[in-house]
Structure 1
Amino acid sequence: MEFTNPLIYGVPAFLGLILLELTYSKTHNNKDLYKWKDLFSSLSMGIGSAVIAAFIKIVTIILLFEFVYELFNPIVEGVRTNIMGWESFGYAWYVWILCMLLDDFSYYWFHRQNHMVRFFWAAHIVHHSSDNFNLGTAVRNGWFTILYKPFFYVWIVIIGFSPEMVVVCLGIEALWQFQLHTKYVPKMGIIEKFLNTHTMHQVHHSKNLEYMDKNHGGILNVFDRIFGTWKELDPSIDIEYGVSTPPESYNLWVILTHEYKNIWEDTKKTKNWKHKFMYVFGPPGWSHDGSTKTVKEIRKELKMDT
């Protein structure tokens, strides 16, 4: 069975909503919400990401998802059966719900590792590098994240969900993530108990120390709550958006690669290969001599909640 990726319909909606928010902000005394150079950088990143993603997804479906699906879910006597013995999943409504839940679980860990592993952070930092929080920032996606993201989801295909179903769920996740990037939606009462909302995502994009590395969830916030990374927006705190090591440029190549350059420079500070490894795959901020510190280390020094 074939399905259409919902992002095909989402792209024109994204552009329309960005234009709507941009117009509203400029006419309602919030002229600083969008900065033209920053917006053009974000849109260029989004266009490049979409073009690369289109190619990568073809490779992902054909060479990875389809391959492992056939390998772990062969057809046995006319029935597609998982190698563990159960019949591979079909397309009933409850299967869709289960697949969406597993997709959301995978997104949480994919997103969290993008903040915990510096090599992944070097790709993901692109999305956080703007000091503006708006729908334009939502499409400011790094081009290299797409190369490893599928490996966080392939297990769903392995256990018996069809590749097409997983791709559709990925698209739905992306649609939800896009609309979270706006300040114009306030807290939503009881919905905040289980959904990842706009105010929670403001926390995620903040570089305030108490907010950093929080709220990694996709559609649900339950995994943040379970694994200790959930944080509610405090109206008394003035949020600063962006990152502690910004690219300081609107040049696309600089935005895309500045953290890789920083990693390379850090690895040259030591001849110890364990230290070099940690500069690449350790948490952002780690250093062998204490010259820089991770968020967790800083919070511990200041005796803040982790």
Structure 2
Amino acid sequence: MDLTNPLVYGVPCFIALILLELTYSKSHDDHEDLYVWKDLMASGAMGIGSAILGPLVKVTVLIVVFNYTYELFNPMVDGVRMNIMGYESFGYAWYVFLACQLADDFTYYWFHRANHEIRLLWAAHIVHHSSDHFNLGTAIRNGWFTLLYKPFFYMWLPAVGFPVEVVIFALAIESFWQFQLHSKYVPKMGWIEKIFNTHTMHQVHHSQNVEYLDKNHGGFLNIFDKIFGTWKELDDDTEVKFGVIHAPKSYNPMVILTHEFKDIWNDMKKSPKLSHKLMYIFGPPGWSHDGSTLTVKQQQRLFKKQRAANPEMVYSRPN
């Protein structure tokens, strides 16, 4: 199986769909401002960088590290590949692909959630959320630094016996699904929303409205969000405000890539205590030693109190 084929075939589709949505939006008054040229160019630069760096990471990490992990935990014994836990390693049956896809989605949920709850990882992931626009162009605005650590979240899959090719195929399916979620043109989808992560759910994820923060981390399923308490449905009466509170306010790709790392460094200098410095790096985004900024959970607790006092209140993250 060619490990690169899924995404090689996907890139032309991504470009074609972005151009199609762009063309459609410019001819319809209700979404004529869906794309802003400078914003799209910035997203495109992020996507091109990922396309260049991606194959390098695939060779050095995905193939080398995944293969090493697979060989280490699934040695050959009398001509049969056996997992060190005592069972025969998985093959290429259709149900193995399905099981790996489910395991991939479980892993993606925790990888994605960690990107929102650990500030150092958020500094890499904020790139994807930095646009004030929600469109297919935003889907390719991905941080380059996430390529360096994402594979390590998935190493357990070859370790338990899934063939490397099957794992990489599951990662490709995950990428395709995540890309197409970034469209405002797909309405709520009825019963499908009971199982799958859909476009309106992903709008919630990209919102900076307080009640929507850190919700809907799932890949193509929403079951793990529901199990672990991070699922939120889009309220038709709430105006969604896309983007992040600490936006880079720049279309320069280097600024977009690095601005949160710079903010972490500046925050670390606010306190001489080592424990405070470590929290600014590894604590949740918004944590502060003096309460000058709030974490998402703190903001949401405050929001609940304020809404209880004023049920008609509509609140979004301030700029």
TM bucket normalised to smaller? over 0.9
**Any conservation in 2 of the 1:99–1:161 contact (CA below 8 Å)?**
yes
Match of 2:123 in 1: 122
Match of 2:23 in 1: 23
Matched length: 305
Match of 1:7 in 2: 7
- How do 1:132-281 and structure 2 match up within 5 A? 132-281=133-282
Matches of 1:199 and 1:114 in 2, distance apart? 21
- How do 1:102-121 and structure 2 match up within 5 A? 102-121=103-122
Deviation by residue 1:121-147 (Cα, 9 ceiling, x = unmatched):
000000000000000000000000010
RMSD: 1.1
Compute the displacement of 1:61 (Å). 2.9
Runs of at least 5 residues in structure 2 that lack an aligned partner in the other structure:
308-319
Matches of 1:7 and 1:136 in 2, distance apart? 17
Structure 1 runs (4+) greater than 2 angstroms displaced: 1-5, 301-305
Match of 1:72 in 2: 73
Runs of at least 5 residues in structure 1 that lack an aligned partner in the other structure:
none
Question: Helix, strand or coil for the counterpart of 1:303?
Answer: helix
- How do 1:11-90 and structure 2 match up within 5 A? 11-29=11-29, 30-90=31-91
**Any conservation in 2 of the 1:5–1:171 contact (CA below 8 Å)?**
no
**Any conservation in 2 of the 1:5–1:167 contact (CA below 8 Å)?**
no
**Any conservation in 2 of the 1:3–1:165 contact (CA below 8 Å)?**
no
AA in 1 matched with 2:116: H
Matches of 1:3 and 1:141 in 2, distance apart? 21
Deviation by residue 1:35-78 (Cα, 9 ceiling, x = unmatched):
00000000110010111111001111333101111111011100
How many percent identity over aligned positions? 66
AA in 2 matched with 1:76: V
Matches of 2:150 and 2:62 in 1, distance apart? 13
Matches of 2:298 and 2:5 in 1, distance apart? 42
AA in 1 matched with 2:298: E
**Any conservation in 2 of the 1:129–1:246 contact (CA below 8 Å)?**
yes
Question: Helix, strand or coil for the counterpart of 1:115?
Answer: helix
Matches of 2:266 and 2:24 in 1, distance apart? 43
Q: TM-score, normalised by structure 1?
A: 0.98
Matches of 1:302 and 1:190 in 2, distance apart? 30
Compute the displacement of 1:154 (Å). 0.4
Compute the displacement of 1:2 (Å). 4.8
Matches of 1:63 and 1:274 in 2, distance apart? 36
**Any conservation in 1 of the 2:118–2:285 contact (CA below 8 Å)?**
yes
AA in 2 matched with 1:10: G
